[in-house]
Chain A
Amino acid sequence: MSMQPTSERTLSVDVLARVEGEGGLHLRLRNGKVDDVKLNIFEPPRFYEAFLRGRAMTELPDLTARICGICPVAYQFSACLAIEDACGVTVPDSVRALRRLLYCGEWIESQTLHIYMLHAPDFLGYAGAIEMAKDHGAAVERGLSMKKAGNALMTLVGGRSVHPVNTKIGGFYKMPSVQDMKALRPAIAQGLEDALETVKLVSTFEFPDFERPYLYLSLRPEEGYPIEGGRVVTSRGDNWDVQEFTQHIEEVHVAQSNALHGLLDGEPYVVGPLARYSLNFDRLSPMAQQAAREAGLGETCYNPFKSIIVRAVETVEAFHEALRIIDAWTDGLEPSVPVVPRVGEGFGATEAPRGVCFHRYKIDETGLVTDAQIVPPTSQNQPSIEADLRELAQEWMWMSDEDLTLRAEVAIRNYDPCISCSVHFLNLTVDRG
């Protein structure tokens, strides 16, 4: 970081910490105005969509999982839905319930990682969770214990938490037994208690007074909170089938980034916890709704710094849902239905912890992929992250370089950006004058 002798000032952070992936940020402030904001993604391209062509549709859950180690299930299930759509197959309720359960595990693991290890240290004034553990040992232990419960759920259903092996097109390779589900129940029940405590803890943090009139987009299923599927809804009243996604969402390639930016009919929009919550409050369980109200949240939330509270509320919901599915589980269910390939195109979208993850594939008569398109959540949020930074830099320009830089970093972390997904670390530079 340095102060320019002229009317221009430069702040820079070469490596933005506590995000998943590699990128950088450039802020230039000139003559009391924000002159330029760029979120640079230097995560190198891995060319997923290109190498998926010519692969068998049955390989997609294993291959696309590797887009992201933090939310592999999101990729697996969006791919499954797209292929099942192309082949005209609907999976039975039991498969859908188990998908929701595995996905609850991923939500718990990812949201808890972000709340306790990546985001809370900003509000409590620590460099990271390990440093925070010295003064807030009980809180960090609680976070680790919740994360462990999420990972245990993923291991039970999926075989392992990073790149689960049990998912296939049409369902699963193997159903868990009632006995195994029951063995895990106490850890999940404890997790629910801990999640309620987490909502209380994060609601006591100090939040900057900052709101923006976001255009929100999320899924909305026929019933329940959006996780493993649904129609697409927005805060301006849209309600589309997933197939219509690409008619409205455009991916723009900008020079500083290896990720593509998503725009909704030309406008920046937001996906993720704030969008899901604000569009689906009525779908939360009464327990999660009550926790949200007690934490001081309304039925919508437009303060991105409060996303940590929303994540905590969603973690309550995920534990609550997991318990419901575990308690209703029976033995002897068919793990999968056959999916016979046919020439066609299919669309699939699910709610990754950080927002909508959309897949589209074309396949040939033998089930080989001929065309692939994957829209990860972070690239959709990127234009809004930049807009937030522009506005907060303008508002808090009086701050010292150090404070403004930290606040900008926190504003990026509000989105829990997964840059591995969007292709992957952030590097913050601010010029000002």
Chain B
Amino acid sequence: MTTTTTTPTVAVWKFASCDGCQLNLLNAEDELLDVAKAVTIAYFPEATRAMQDGPYDVSIVEGSITTPEEIERIKHVREISGKLITIGACATHGGIQALRNYADVEEYTSYVYASPEFIDTLETSTPISEHVHVDFELRGCPVDKYQLVEVISAFAQGRRPRIPTYSVCVECKRAGNICVPVAQGTPCLGPVTQAGCGAICPSFNRGCYACFGPQDSQNCHGMADRLMALGMTTEEMTRAYRTFNATCEPFQAESLRHERARKAGAEEVEA
């Protein structure tokens, strides 16, 4: 099938993920039909049987790389794409399935599957950027639908997306929330986490759990010291930094530091 339109062609791809980030494109109910006019949705299997062959001007990639087949497929996607945008914590940081990176995958496979020999998987879950060049990464678990529409619009217009890289605290102050760690002693990872969600957890009276990954100028070490002063243990610190963005450098360094401390049986973690 060929297109006679001059609007940019967009393809949406899925790797290991929960579908939630591409669902957020369908969840942009007020914008969806307008987006479909501004760009040509050329390949989006979750939404349509009509699948145009590449190349595509923009590819949107959800999910992480967890199998040998996915490594080959992402290389092919890169070859047939003008720009490649990754969306969501799986694509940008390996996702929750990257918890295997800290474990024995063989043991994992035999725990979940009766016939592990049928399962073909890599020992790690890795971000797309570890395999091919990525033009823009949109954070979040899941991504925010307004940020997603902004990124697609920006690429359709050939400009840089306006996505802030400051912390959740900025959004939280703007929302007029009372600071949950200061006022209630509730552990909160907002200071080290990138904005974008609208500070929803503190708005719901709970601490941020860092689903948008690290902000630009975070101090994860200092954050951990503060949280431990609020009563968190080394085990809890390891788990707090080891969720949906567990492979990103600042979170990984902290989770490993606390894991080493726990294994050493030390009362205090190394400085």
Contacts and interface: CB of A to CB of B under 8 A. Distances in A.
Interface in B91-125: 95-97, 99-100, 103, 105, 107-109, 111-115, 118-119, 121, 125
Nearest to B30: A148
Which of B18, B20, B21 neighbours the largest number of chain A CB atoms within 10 Å of its CB?
Answer: B18
Contacts of A39: none
Contact of A67 (B18, B32, B67, B239): B18
A46 B111 contact: no
Nearest to B22: A69
A21 interface: yes
A51 interface: yes
A198 B20 CA distance: 25
Contacts of B139: none
Contact of A49 (B50, B112, B119, B204): B112
Contacts of A140: 33
A22 interface: yes
B161 to A, nearest CB: 20
A159 interface: yes
B185 interface: no
B171 interface: no
Given A50-B111, A258-B119, A147 B27 contact: yes
Interface residues of B, number: 65
Interface stretch (B126-134, B205-213, B216-224): B205-213
Contacts of A55: 239
B253 interface: no
A400 B206 CA distance: 57
B72 interface: no
B200 A165 contact: yes
B5 interface: no
A307 interface: no
Given A46-B96, A62-B209, A161 B27 contact: yes
B23 interface: yes
A145 B112 contact: no
A15 B121 contact: no
A174 B202 CA distance: 10
A69 B22 CA distance: 9
Interface string B56-90: 00000000001101100000000000000000000
Interface string A116-133: 010001000001111101
Contacts of B229: none
A168 B204 CA distance: 11
Contact of B239 (A21, A56, A130): A56
Contacts of B66: 44-46
Interface of A: 15-22, 42-51, 53, 55-56, 59, 62-63, 66-70, 72, 109, 113, 117, 121, 127-131, 133, 140, 144-145, 147-148, 151, 159-163, 165-166, 168, 173-174, 251-255, 257-258, 260, 409, 418, 420, 424-425
30 contacts: A17-B49, A20-B46, A21-B19, A22-B14, A42-B69, A45-B112, A45-B113, A47-B111, A51-B96, A56-B239, A59-B239, A69-B19, A70-B20, A127-B50, A128-B49, A130-B33, A130-B41, A133-B33, A159-B203, A160-B142, A162-B24, A165-B204, A173-B204, A173-B206, A174-B206, A258-B118, A258-B119, A420-B17, A420-B18, A424-B17
Given A44-B67, A131-B50, 11 more contacts: A16-B45, A21-B19, A42-B69, A49-B112, A50-B107, A66-B95, A66-B141, A68-B20, A69-B18, A161-B27, A174-B204
